Amino acid sequence: MTAPALTLTKLEHASVVLASDRARILVDPGNLGTPNDPGAFDAILLTHHHPDHAAPEFLRDALTAGVDVYGPADAGDELGLATADRGGAHWHPVEPGATFSVGDVPVVVAGSIHAEIHPDVPGPQNRAFLVGDGVFVTGDEHPLPPAPASVLVTPMNAPWLAAPALIRYVRQVRPRLVLGVHEGFLNPAGLRVADRLLGMLTSEGADEARRLEVGEEISL
């Protein structure tokens, strides 16, 4: 079965919407801005529980509205998602290797642990998602996709991210397109620096690398 064509709409910071004709999937609605209606989606994919990726009240409202939420088990514990899922059918803790579908869109789970942010404190679980035909949303680590990824949605800036690590990662994955996210903490000067790093990736294995403005939509 051929995966459907997808559009991607950039929201605040690390959040995007992936949509087909039959499904709308929201990724990482964090505290830098969330959609007005938590029930307007068929599913939410949560990479990890840090506040810039996971707004607890929004996620709990989505579960109450009957939206399926997929993410790592420790995020559910940290955010109280199992308690919020009163019917018990909509919070889905997922492990790497799991597969599921949202409408006509197949999803494969990957990932492991959040990139190191402290030498003595392990990070939370991180889940990456291969959505449809090769759209790989990484969260806050550099996991290898479980199948070829033509579009890589990954941080372009973060406290844990160094330019050489991002370059090496793109050399491994070799996507057609890198979409840089996780830019919500940057001022205009910082955005210019991060945009230059994205531009470098076109000589490191990516055919194209870019940042979308909030609200911008592209076809994948």
pLDDT confidence of residue 1:
60
Give the mean pLDDT of 49-78: 97
pTM of the model: 0.96
**Above 80 in pLDDT, residue 169?**
yes
Q: How are beta strands 105-110 and 99-102 bridged, if at all?
A: antiparallel
Return the beta strands (E) in 34-150 as ranges. 43-45, 68-71, 91-93, 99-102, 105-110, 128-131, 135-137
**Above 80 in pLDDT, residue 216?**
yes
